[in-house]
């Protein structure tokens, strides 16, 4: 927080917060996965895990844990696991059998550097390791809460979450007339599910009540959908340099997106409305929820 002289009110400095948290998360990620044998697969896993990105999912997990009375130390293994899962989903998403992309986070995609076989295995390795990492490294947390987080992670990556969303997303290619309900289902599963679990897992580790978890779940569902709507918009309006990946892919694949169904301005309005609704859920938390409020605004204002 910085104090403004004129009004003597505290203004939350999101840029500094995100920068500081990103450094913390990247240090933990680097330490989480040392090189091992066979070197090729460890190198490939580390290549993508340490390739940058916003680190939004771990940052949300840590923020939610702190908001609900937990600590960074309690939540860091889960925060790392969320980024391992996110990274493996990006590796697999970029494969020729799926989105077939050559660039991610401003670098060549994993399969372009290591080959498809190793990229698939590196993704599998990261997924398995994410669960092991939480189970082995989470300290000073009720073991039942750790089990709850592990179960939630499993549900989130499986057919009820990312996998299911991705299947429908692949099937939606060449169907620009897809209905809005199916599109929202895809967005909630493919993207929203992991963002929601990022927020919820921090609160679970901190031992939060069901009532508070329900509020955070609604916050997270809204920012999750807003995040993917903005992703759809950026695919049209941003450049490859800004995104670090190929732009304009949705139009080429003839995919229905929020902008194709509603237009860019209306899509932006819907994303902003979702963020407004998300922030309403944080009303009871006062100043402590400033990081989650500011992250919600960042989601609609982001340029990458
Ligand atoms: C999870 C078992 C398992 C398999 C993967 C491929 C797949 C199933 C799912 C695809 C999920 C996917 C790639 C969703 C898109 C989510 C999204 C908007 C990614 C971009 O997130 P950012 O902007 O990226 O946070 P950075 O690089 O900043 O981390």
Contacts of 248 (CB under 8 A, 6+ apart): 235, 236
* pLDDT above 60 (res 6): no
Q: What is the mean pLDDT of residues 137-151?
A: 98
pLDDT at 250: 92
Tokens coding 32? 């989480």
- Report the mean per-residue pLDDT for the chain: 95
Residues across the chain: 304
The answer to whether residue 8 sits within a structural domain is no
Question: What's the CA-to-centroid distance between 284 and ligand 1, angstroms?
Answer: 31
Is 171 inside any structural domain? Answer: yes
Q: Does the bond joining 41 to the residue before it have cis omega, within 30 degrees of 0?
A: no
Q: Are 291 and 218 in contact (CB under 8 A)?
A: no
- Residue 80 forms part of a structural domain: yes
The per-residue pLDDT for range 282-300, each reduced to its tens digit, is: 999 999 999 999 999 999 9
Nearest-atom number in ligand 1 for the CA of 85 is 1
pLDDT digits (tens, 9 = 90+) for 236-284: 999 999 999 999 999 999 999 999 999 999 999 999 999 999 999 999 9
Average pLDDT of 160-186?
A: 95
Residue 1 confidence (pLDDT)? 58
In ligand 1, which atom is closest to the CA atom of 165? 9
Alpha-carbon distance 164 to 168, whole Å? 7
The CATH number for 86's domain is 1.10.600.10
Atom of ligand 1 nearest to the CA of 227: 18
Residue 184 maps to a domain? yes
Q: Of 173 and 82, which is predicted with more confidence?
A: 82
Is 25 contained in some domain? yes
**CA-based nearest residue to 62, from 105, 31, 30, 17:** 17
CA of residue 50 to ligand 1 center, whole Å: 15
Q: How confident is the model at residue 11 (pLDDT cuts 50, 70, 90)?
A: confident
User: Is residue 201 assigned to a domain?
Assistant: yes
Q: Which residues line ligand 1 (CB under 6 A)?
A: 53-54, 56, 86, 89-90, 92-93, 98, 105, 127, 157, 162-163, 166, 190-191, 228, 231
**CA 99/CA 232 separation, integer angstroms:** 15
- Output the six-digit token pair for 127: 């997924």
Q: How far apart are CA 165 and CA 185, in angstroms?
A: 7
| 296 contacts 221 by C-beta, under 8 angstroms | no
Q: How far is the CA of 187 from the centre of ligand 1 (A)?
A: 11
Is 3 among the domain residues? no
**How far apart are alpha carbons 180 and 159 in whole angstroms?**
21
Angle of helix 72-93 versus helix 193-205 axis, rounded to 10: 160
pLDDT in tens, 84-122: 999 999 999 999 999 999 999 999 999 999 999 999 999
Instruction: Specify the higher pLDDT residue, 11 or 126.
Output: 126
At 24, list the tokens: 């913390």
Q: How many domains does the chain have?
A: 1
Q: Which of 154, 191, 226 to mutate to test the pocket of ligand 1 (most atoms within 8 A of CB)?
A: 191
Instruction: Look up the domain containing 268 and give its range.
Output: 13-301
pTM: 0.96
Ligand 1 centroid vs 3 CA: distance in angstroms? Answer: 37
Examine residue 128 and state whether it is found in any structural domain, yes or no: yes
């Amino acid at each position: 927080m910085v104090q403004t002289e004129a009004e003597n009110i505290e203004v939350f400095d999101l840029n500094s917060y995100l920068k500081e948290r990103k450094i913390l998360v990247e240090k933990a990620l680097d330490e989480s996965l040392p090189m091992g044998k066979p070197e090729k697969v460890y190198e490939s896993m580390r290549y993508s895990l340490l390739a940058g990105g916003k680190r939004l999912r771990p940052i949300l997990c840590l923020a939610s844990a702190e908001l609900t009375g937990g600590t960074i130390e309690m939540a860091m293994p889960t925060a790392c696991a969320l980024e391992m899962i996110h990274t493996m989903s990006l590796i697999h998403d970029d494969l020729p059998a799926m989105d077939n992309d050559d660039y991610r986070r401003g670098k060549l995609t994993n399969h372009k550097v290591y080959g498809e076989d190793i990229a698939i295995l590196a993704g599998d390795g990261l997924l398995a390791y994410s669960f092991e990492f939480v189970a082995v490294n989470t300290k000073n947390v009720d073991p039942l809460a750790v089990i709850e987080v592990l179960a939630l992670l499993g549900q989130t990556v499986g057919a009820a979450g990312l996998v299911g969303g991705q299947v429908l997303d692949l099937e939606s290619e060449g169907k620009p007339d897809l209905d809005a309900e199916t599109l929202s289902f895809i967005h909630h599963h493919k993207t929203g599910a992991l963002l929601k679990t990022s927020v919820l897992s921090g609160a679970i580790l901190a031992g939060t009540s069901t009532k508070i978890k329900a509020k955070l779940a609604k916050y997270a569902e809204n920012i999750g959908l807003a995040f993917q709507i903005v992703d759809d918009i950026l695919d049209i309006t941003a450049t490859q340099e800004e995104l670090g990946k190929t732009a304009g892919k949705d139009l080429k694949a003839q995919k229905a997106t929020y902008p194709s169904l509603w237009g860019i301005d209306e899509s932006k309005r819907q994303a902003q409305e979702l963020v407004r609704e998300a922030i309403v859920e944080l009303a009871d938390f006062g100043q402590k929820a400033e990081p989650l409020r500011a992250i919600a605004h960042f989601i609609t204002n982001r340029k990458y």
